[in-house]
Amino acid sequence: MQKQEISQKDFVFTDDFAECCSEKYADYCLHILCLKGAARFAEGETIFNVIGGDAIIKSSGKPITIIHCSKDFSIKALLISWTYLYANTPQSSYNVIGALSTSQNPVMPMQKADLDRCLLNFEEIRRRLEQPYHNFFAAVMRRAVETMILDFYDIHARMTHQNIEGVSQASRILQRFVTLLQDGLYKKERSVEYYASRLFITPKYLSEACVAVSGYNASSWIEYYITQEIAHQLNDRSKPLIDIAYELNFSSPSYLSRYVRRIFGCSPSEYRKRLK
């Protein structure tokens, strides 16, 4: 029976917070469980505080800078490459809501039972990773990762009181809006007015529907998609900035540079240096 190969490099386990924030893991999604103590860090230009019992989910391309850690600060972390996650994230209507929310605020408070459940998920993934001889290795690895992700979705939804599977009119509008974004229209169109016209509603109604369901307005959704695309394109260090600006409908490379600096807190060249 043919077993799908999974690279050991797709998964990194560490207890070192500084290692998690290393530039070499810019292409990884960070899942950090804070066991005790406290820390302060900056993601781009925004400062966050974290204490024992919190989780940090870093899904954006913004760099993390450690400002301070208490002497007793300790973590358990699992870093998963975006290459693996893109291919194995479970299908859920909460995917984009969760990703957008954690890109705005990566710190997620948890109850002790939630923390214990997440620690068990980490250990299950580690255990499965050590069994490549399993005839269904790729499938059981995918199930273990999916369980962890869905548990994080569940915790986040409860902590933020968000409705995951709403069937309201606002939910249907958000779903149609996200479908337009997922079709790649954000690469050329970044105005709320454009998407509202495609949905035959007013820009105000579109934003109100987005806020009602997800907590974020329409502009935030558009910015989320374009930010992830810029980060993806900048990961190709051989690609000229002028080509990226053209593909993403920026009027000039300098305009794109200003946008990158506002979103990531650094210039495109500085962002690429972090990837080396």
Q: What is the pLDDT of residues 160-191, one digit of tens each?
A: 665 544 446 787 788 788 888 888 899 999 99
Q: Residue 171 has which token pair?
A: 């939910």
Q: Cα(111)–Cα(124) distance, rounded to whole angstroms?
A: 20
In residues, how long is the chain? 276
Same fold, 8-160 and 169-273: no
Q: Cα(30)–Cα(123) distance, rounded to whole angstroms?
A: 16
Look at residue 22 and give its three-state secondary structure: coil
Q: Cα(231)–Cα(171) distance, rounded to whole angstroms?
A: 28
Task: Write the single-letter amino acid at 155.
Answer: I
Task: Write the single-letter amino acid at 220.
Answer: S
The residue with tokens 């806020």 is 211
The domain spans of the chain are: 8-160, 169-273
Percentage of residues of the chain with pLDDT beyond 70: 91
DSSP category for residue 186: G
Q: Residue 195 has which token pair?
A: 């998407």
What phi, psi does 189 have (nearest 5°)? -120, 120
pLDDT at 156: 85
Report field, pTM of the whole predicted structure over 0.75: no
β-strand pairing of 38-43 with 64-69? antiparallel
**Which CATH code, of 2.60.40, 2.60.120, 3.30.420, 1.20.1060, is assigned to 8-160?**
2.60.120
194 pLDDT more than 90 = yes
Among 11-25, 99-113, 150-164, which is the least confidently predicted range?
Answer: 150-164
Q: Which pLDDT band holds residue 276 (cuts at 50, 70, 90)?
A: low
Alpha-carbon distances of 185 from 98, 179, 190, 234, 273, rounded to whole Å: 21, 9, 8, 19, 29
Better-scored residue on pLDDT, 182 or 38: 38
Q: Regarding the domain delimited by 169-273, which CATH topology (the fold level of the hierarchy) does it fall under? A: Arc Repressor Mutant, subunit A (1.10.10)
pLDDT at 162: 55
Among 42-51, 111-120, 246-255, which is the least confidently predicted range?
Answer: 42-51
The residue with tokens 């997922």 is 182
The partner residues of 76 in beta bridges, in order of sequence, read 33
Whether the Cβ atoms of residue 138 and residue 4 lie closer than 8 Å to each other:
yes
DSSP category for residue 202: -
Q: Residue 173 has which token pair?
A: 């509008």
